[in-house]
Amino acid sequence: MAARRSNQGSHDAHFLLFPDSDMVCICAVQVFCQPPAIFPARSPALILLCQQKCRHFHCLAALFTFFLLAAILLPARPAGAVVWSTLFTAQDVREHLSTEQGRQEALEFCRKMGITKVYIESFRDGYQAEEATLKAARDYFRQAGLTVSGCVTTTGLGKPSSGWQVAACYTHRQNQERLESVFRFTAALFDEIMIDDFFFTDCACSECAAAKGALSWQQYREKLMLQISRERVLGPAHAVNPNAKVIIKFPQWYEQFQERGYVADQEAALFDRIWVGTELRDPASDEWGHKQQYEAYFIYRWLADVGGSKTGGGWFDPFGTTPTLYLDQPLTTILAGAPEVFLFHYGALASSEYHAQAEALAARRVQYEKLSTFVSGWSGIAAYKPVSSDPGEEAYILDEIGMLGIPEAPTAHFPEGARAVILTTQALRDTELVPKLLRLLAAGGTAFISQPLAHRLNGDPRLPAPAPLDLEKNQYLKTVEVGGGKLVVFSDALPHLTHVDGQNRVAQPTLELRESLEELRRKVSDFTVTSLDAPPRVAIYPLGGRVAVVNSTEFPVACRLTGLAGMAHKLNRLYALDGATLASDGATLWLPPHSALVVE
C-alpha cells in the first residue's frame, strides 16, 4: 500500500484513500459534514481469543472429551452465530493430510480459527486425491468432533474450454465421463459435496458450435450445464449415495452468469443447496476489476432471494487482499446473513503468504460472531436484477449504488406491490418490465431509474412520460411524474463516485454532484434509512429495527442517519467494530476506516 500513498499532487482533484496528513481527512469530512469534526484516533480492537478453551481441551483426559466437545460445539453457540469452515483442496489433501503430523497441524489451525466444519476435496486441476488419504482425513476430523464434507473442483477434466482455460468443454463426451466418475468416487466417501465455482463453460469449440445448432450461445450453455448437472453430477452422486447432498457454489461475478451457463434459479431448484462467492478484492486493483465491498452483500442477498432456504453460506479467499481488506469479507458476508462462512483454503491461509490474513481473522472472530447476533430483517429499496440478465454497460452498478449509502434489497423478482424500486439495464431481461413498472407507478410508487435504462425506455409508447427521460448535459438527477407515480432518473456519475481508481483515489465530487447526491438520498429517505452527509463508500444496512453502517473509505467519517421515520431521534449503540463510536448527541456516527457500527 505504501507505494500508493505518494501521489500527493492531486489533492484538488481526488481524495487519497491512504492520506498521509490530517489535512486530507478534514478536507474529506468538510465536503460532506457540517461542521467538521475531530476524530478519535483509531483504537486497536479489543480481542477476546477463544483459544484458552482449546488449550483446556488438550489438557483434559479422554473421558471428558466428548462432553467438552458437546459443550463447545452444540449448546454454547449463541443464536445467530456463524459456523466457520475451511477447505482442504485435493492438493492440500496430498500435501498436508497424508501424515498424522500433517493432520494434527491442520486440526490445530482449525481450533485456532474456530473452524468446526471442513470440506475435504477429492478432485481439482486434473488431480484426484487418493482414496485412502481422503478416508483417513475424513475419519480423523470426524473423531475430533468436526463436521466433514467433500468438495469437487471441475478444473482439468480433460479438453479445456476454448475460452477461459480453467473451465472445461462440457460437450466433449470424455469430459462428461470423467466428471461423472469424479462424482461417483466422491459420493461414495461423503454425504455432502460442494462444487467450487468453475462449473461453467464459455467454450465455443467446433464440437460446441455443432451441438449448439440454432440456439444462441447463452441458450446452449444454460441447457448444457443443466443437463450435465442432472446426468453427470446429481444423478450419479445420488445413485451411489442416496443421502448425498450436492451444493453448487456460485461465483461472485454474477453479472457474467448468463455468458457462461450459470442459470441461478434453475440450478438452485436442481441442486440440494447453493453457496455464494462473497470474495472481495482491493477496490483499487485493475487486475481484480475494482470490486466494491457492497458486491458481497448484493450477491449474497440476491442469491438468497433466488435460493431461499437452500442458501448455505458465503465463501471467500485471501487473494488480492491485505489483512485489512481481507477482513472486509467476513464483515460483509456476515452482514449479508451467511450462517456459514467458508474460508478458502487451508493451504493458502496456513502459508507464509497469507498467514497475516488468517491471524487477523482469528483475532476478530469473536467480534464477528457477536455481530451475527444482530443480523436479520434485511431491508432496503428493492434492486431488481432478473436471473440471467445482461448488464449491458452497467455491470456491477448495483454494487456502486449500495456504496452510495442507498440500502438495497436485491431481488431476482419484480417487487410487485412495493412503494419503490431501483431499476437498471439488467431489468430489461424482463419482457414484462414496462407493464409491471406502470402498475407500480399507478399505485403511487417511485422507480429510481439509471441513466442507461432511462435512455432505453425513452419514447416507449406504453410509458406516457410528459417529458423525455434522458438527462440533459451536466444534469445528474431528474424526476418525471408518470402514471400516478414518479420516475427518478439518476446519472451514471453518481454511482461512479464510489469508484476507486488504480492509484487508490476516488474522484472529488463537484458542488453540483454533491447537491445531486444529497437530493437523491433525500428521495431515498422516503423509503429507507440513508445518510445525507456520509461520503460515498459508506454503506448502510437496515436490519429490522437496527442499522449497520460500514466505512469502506480510507479516512475517518462522521455522519448522521436519516429516513428513520417514526424511530427514536436518539440512537443507541449496539455494536462497534474497530473503534467506531456514537457521539454523545446520540446522532453522529464516528467511523474510522473499515470500521462498523450497529445502532438502533
CB of 206 to Zn ion, least distance (A): 8
The answer to whether the peptide bond before residue 323 is cis (omega within 30 degrees of 0) is: no
Site string for Zn ion, 142-181 (x = CB under 5 A): ---------------------------x-x----------
- As given in the structure block, the three cell numbers for residue 212 are 449448439
Give the separation between CA 405 and CA 278, rounded to whole angstroms: 19
- What residue has cell string 455491470? 395
- Compare residues 154 and 171 and give the one whose CB is closer to Zn ion: 171
* Other CB atoms within 10 Å distance of the CB of residue 50: 14
Q: Looking at residue 571, what DSSP letter applies?
A: -
CB of 236 to Zn ion, least distance (A): 21
CB of 231 to Zn ion, least distance (A): 17
- Compare residues 17 and 169 and give the one whose CB is closer to Zn ion: 169
- Compare residues 178 and 290 and give the one whose CB is closer to Zn ion: 178
- Compare residues 208 and 534 and give the one whose CB is closer to Zn ion: 208
CB of 555 to Zn ion, least distance (A): 49
Of 258, 257, 230, nearest to 246 by C-alpha is 230
CB of 146 to Zn ion, least distance (A): 39
- In the chain, what is the greatest distance between 2 CA atoms, to the nearest angstrom? 80
CB of 225 to Zn ion, least distance (A): 12
CB of 199 to Zn ion, least distance (A): 15
SS3 of 132-170: the string is HHHHHHHHHHHHCCCEEEEEECCCCCCCECCCCCCCECC
- What residue has cell string 485471501? 318
Enclosing H/E stretch for 26: helix 22-32
Size of the site for Zn ion (CB under 5 A): 6
CB of 234 to Zn ion, least distance (A): 22
CB of 180 to Zn ion, least distance (A): 17
Say whether 458 sits in a helix, a strand or coil. Answer: coil
- Compare residues 28 and 168 and give the one whose CB is closer to Zn ion: 168
> Is residue 69 within 8 Å of 319, Cβ to Cβ?
no
Per rule CB under 5 A, is residue 553 in the interface with Zn ion?
no
Backbone angles phi, psi at 214, to 5 degrees: -85, -5
- Compare residues 211 and 434 and give the one whose CB is closer to Zn ion: 211
CB of 186 to Zn ion, least distance (A): 24
CA dihedral 529, 520, 504, 358 (to 10 degrees): 20
Contacts of 554 (CB under 8 A, 6+ apart): 16, 17, 18, 19, 504, 593
> Is residue 200 within 8 Å of 207, Cβ to Cβ?
no
Backbone angles phi, psi at 566, to 5 degrees: 85, -15
- Compare residues 167 and 299 and give the one whose CB is closer to Zn ion: 167
> b/e string for 207-237 if b means 16 or more Cβ within 10 A?
bbeeebeeeebbebbbbbbbebbeebbbebb
- Compare residues 207 and 600 and give the one whose CB is closer to Zn ion: 207
> Is residue 422 within 8 Å of 401, Cβ to Cβ?
yes
CB of 429 to Zn ion, least distance (A): 26
CB of 169 to Zn ion, least distance (A): 3
DSSP assignment of 329-391 equals HHHHHHHTT-SEEEE--HHHHTSTTTHHHHHHHHHHHHHHHHHHTT---B--EEEE--TT---
- Compare residues 211 and 240 and give the one whose CB is closer to Zn ion: 211
Say whether 218 sits in a helix, a strand or coil. Answer: helix
Say whether 435 sits in a helix, a strand or coil. Answer: helix
Contacts of 96 (CB under 8 A, 6+ apart): 88, 102, 103, 105, 106, 346, 347, 350
- Compare residues 189 and 208 and give the one whose CB is closer to Zn ion: 208
Do the strands 505-507 and 14-16 form a parallel or antiparallel pair, or are they unpaired?
A: antiparallel
Site for Zn ion in 327-346 (CB under 5 A): none
CB of 171 to Zn ion, least distance (A): 5
- Compare residues 172 and 521 and give the one whose CB is closer to Zn ion: 172
Of 152, 145, 229, 143, nearest to 189 by C-alpha is 152
Do the strands 381-384 and 115-124 form a parallel or antiparallel pair, or are they unpaired?
A: unpaired
CB of 427 to Zn ion, least distance (A): 32
- Compare residues 105 and 207 and give the one whose CB is closer to Zn ion: 207
Give the separation between CA 249 and CA 226, rounded to whole angstroms: 14
> Is residue 280 within 8 Å of 316, Cβ to Cβ?
yes
CB of 205 to Zn ion, least distance (A): 3
> Is residue 346 within 8 Å of 120, Cβ to Cβ?
no
Site for Zn ion in 191-220 (CB under 5 A): 203, 205, 207-208
- Compare residues 209 and 465 and give the one whose CB is closer to Zn ion: 209
- Compare residues 160 and 495 and give the one whose CB is closer to Zn ion: 160
- Compare residues 173 and 462 and give the one whose CB is closer to Zn ion: 173
Binding site for Zn ion (CB under 5 A): 169, 171, 203, 205, 207-208
